Amino acid sequence: MTRYQFPEGFFWGAAASGPQTEGISNKPHRSIWDSWFAEQPERFYQQIGPQTVCDTYHQYPQDVALMKQTGFNSFRTSIQWSRLIDDFETGAPNADAVRFYNDYLDEMIENGIEPMINLYHFDMPEALQKQYGGFESAHVTDLFARFARTAFELFGHKVKYWITFNEPIVPVEGGYLYDFHYPCKKDGKLAAQVAFNIMLAHAKAVREFRELALESEIGVVLNLTPSYTRNDSAEDKKAAWYADLFFNRSFLDPLVKHQFPKELCEILAVHDCLPVVTKADVELITGSHVDFLGVNYYVPRRVKARESDYALDYFTPEFYFENYVNPEGRFNPYRDNNEILPQAIYDIAANIRDNYGNIKWFLAEIGIAMDIESEGEPGEDGVIDDSFRISLMEEHLVQLHRAIADGANCFGVHQWTFIDNWSWINSFKRRYGFWRLNLQTGERQIKRNALWFAELATSNGFSSDK
């Protein structure tokens, strides 16, 4: 057995989001998820929407007690734009939302849990999507900055770690390329415009944060999925380079390196997909800086050079590569046979260390999906046995420990997620939580992973033969 001890002060906890946990009680506005579910419930697994979910709006005192029981010293969630703000044009807040978020934050702080607060987790207010097209509009970037400033002014004395966006590329992919987020458009040029405007919104929010001179830090959370080749051929290596350019460097370079990749701009120009920008906006984005980076990782990306003609009538990154399934890979039978590759954690850390100034970062999401049937019912001890999840988490943490020993500047790990929560169009199809959510009763039931994690967090390390 080997002992893996982590640096002093390391963050241990979980990540979640407002729209996936709070429910809609007393929200002054709907988000695009509230309205899309109301309009097309058939798009959602078992037609379960965001109305109640974990009911964190009412259950937060009980839930924070469970966080403490699970050993958390930190927790990331998000403030919903559609809950906090009464008037989107002015940024004026909703009184009940201010009460709720203050109480929720206080509950965490009083229990020794550091809140890390995100401002956007895929949840555009419905009114702004319908009136302006959401982040298709530069005006909405100004409204986001007003929302951010309101949040900073209200809660800045309590929150030490702010995050502008969680996985900002996902609304681009889901809403404008691959049809799994509203507004379900397929338009490469519009996708590029939305991506640019999200970065602009981020930069404007950071500017508001700096102006207030808060005694806290601000960052962004990116899903940095490594691209691995089928083989060592020059063609496959080029395919992986393209995938990395589109899915990682497109946001990572402007927000951390302060430059847009020249090659990406050239490719977008070839396909008539360059966004409309101003010099001032580009300079605002590249002149902005974050204090830390959050990294989400679940599965690797495998690619190969294209072997068939590109068949879509609009541009996507797959114009330059095809996805590939590794015949020798390990796969999670409980999540669409997605590949399991703990080595990717080390590779991500090395990339940040070697190519991005070794910026301070934390593993903001890592999760092992299981379906409820595979987790099974509680045993005689009342615990749901998800040992499969524990074993894989240990493998990933071994790689993170190795990366830290080799100089990675990582300061924490947040597992996805605290309580089984609602996962967009997949609803509750996949379960990730330390605690099971009973959809009929709202009861929280402990899983073995929670007991393991509490010991890990309390001792700041673990012993394993992996």
Active site residues: 167, 365
User: Nearest to residue 318, comparing CAs of 331, 330, 308, 329?
Assistant: 308
Contacts of residue 189, Cβ cutoff 8 Å, sequence gap at least 6:
272, 273, 274, 275, 315
What is the bridge-based pairing of β-strands 161-166 and 322-323? unpaired
For 105, counting Cβ atoms within 10 Å of its Cβ (0-12 exposed, 13-18 middle, 19+ buried), the class is buried
CA atoms within 13 A on the CB side of 428: 20
- Listed in sequence order, the residues at least 6 apart from 108 whose beta carbon sits closer than 8 Å to its beta carbon are 64, 67, 75, 114, 115
